[in-house]
Amino acid sequence: MEVGITYDLQMDYLAQGMSEEEAAEFDRLDTIEAIEGTLRVLGFKTDRIGHVKALANRLVAGDRWDLVFNIAEGVRGFGREAQVPALLDAYGIPYTFSDVLVLSLTLHKGMTKRIIRDMGIPTPDFRIVETEEDARSVDIPFPLFAKPVAEGTGKGVDASSRIESRRELWPVCRSLLERFKQPVLLELFMPGREFTVGITGTGEASEAIGAIEVVLKKGAEEAAYSYHNKKQFEEFVEYKPAKDDVAEKAVEVALAAWRGLGCRDGGRIDLRADNRGVPSFLEVNPLAGLNPDISDLPILCRLNGISYRELISRIMDSALKRIRT
């Protein structure tokens, strides 16, 4: 079986003039090498394709693959993560991970939380801010937490993201609006423990790999698993395997969200507990980072006794089961 690999390479966008933060979600070369090497060890023939434009050129030239291992993040718009899947759907080529609908929905954290809330899954109360008038009409109690509605890797999250008073609200929102050119998600701040739950599989066959608690060390930016803290996680973050009652509840919430949203094959869900210790859904990452050394999902696997090879094998098994049924 021949497996194509679609991805956005970080160094390409840095060469085009993007800042390090702007290109933070794109993949390093060693990530592609790790995925490709593991797929070959598992017995697959591989072909590096690259980003969506490279894929389009290859498709027009007549190239085809039995399956595409897709980790392309895309560049523009709320549908950027869905660009490669949409093109593959048009040509009838199956691919790993979630489909166009899920990837378009889940990139927008506010839309995702509306669906989660409608399913009865706990998530912090929230508002979307696009204008100063929106900020003035916010009616949920402080403290609040602000972040761009459609970014990952902690982009736009720092110590100022925790908002203590109405006086701080609009300046923080205005700064994020100007910087990221997208709406701001405001959530009721959850003061409790923070978890990431890793999941593999699809639908009822999906299962949790395990949960880790994200603990900020001395010197880290406070109150946030921020871009700064993530970038220097070895210095500022401790990841702790979590198996107590609160962690088990976090796993239960994460699986309900994963299945309810229709996510496929593998990814992560982030949660945080309130002041009573009840974990709530924050966001889902259906295209989780797969660098074996620095990405949260492989780290989570490693802490729960699952090798990188086993992770990629589980993802592929889930995808192959879907396309053969």
CATH of the domain at 168: 3.30.1490.20
Q: Are residues 144 and 232 in the same domain?
A: no
Residues 161 and 256 in one domain: no
95, 114, 136 — which closes off a domain? 95
Task: Indicate whether 281 and 313 sit together in one domain.
Answer: yes
Give how many domains the chain has, as a whole number. Answer: 3
Structure tokens, 65: 């693959």
308 and 233 within one domain: yes
Give residue 229's pLDDT.
Answer: 76
- Among 164, 188, 212, which residue terminates a domain? 188
For residue 163, give its domain range: 125-188
Distance between CA 272 and CA 254 in Å, rounded? Answer: 11
User: pLDDT tens, 138-166?
Assistant: 999 999 999 999 998 788 898 899 999 99
299, amino acid identity: I
> What is the pLDDT, as a whole number, of residue 115?
98
Residue 22 has what pLDDT? 85
CATH assignment at residue 82: 3.40.50.20
Same domain, 231 and 319: yes
Any domain includes 318 = yes
Answer with the one of 161, 188, 215 that is the final residue of a domain.
188
Parts of the chain with a pLDDT under 50: none
Q: What is the pTM of this model?
A: 0.94
Do 311 and 255 belong together in one domain?
A: yes
- Is residue 111 in a domain? no
Evaluate whether residue 119 is within a structural domain: no
Residue 105 forms part of a structural domain: no
What is the spatial distance between Cα 177 and Cα 150, in angstroms, rounded to a whole number? 12
Answer whether residue 120 is part of any domain: no
Using CA atoms, how far apart are residues 9 and 153, in angstroms rounded to an integer?
Answer: 15
pLDDT of residue 223: 65
Residue 140 and residue 237 share a domain = no
Judge whether 22 lies within some domain.
yes
Instruction: Give a yes or no: residue 236 inside a domain.
Output: yes
User: CA 52, 58, 59 angle in degrees (round to 5)?
Assistant: 90
DSSP-H helix ranges across 137-205: 166-180
Q: Clarify whether residues 207 and 236 are in a common domain.
A: yes
Same domain, yes or no: 202 and 250: yes
Same domain, 223 and 319: yes
In a domain? residue 113: no
Print burial letters for 214-224: b (CB count within 10 Å at least 16), e (below 16). Answer: bebeeebbebb
Q: What local confidence, expressed as pLDDT, does residue 138 receive?
A: 96
* Residues 300 and 218 reside in one and the same domain: yes
Do both 83 and 64 map to the same domain?
yes
* 225: CATH: 3.30.470.20
> Hey, what are 234's tokens?
């070895």
Place of tokens 């880790």: 212
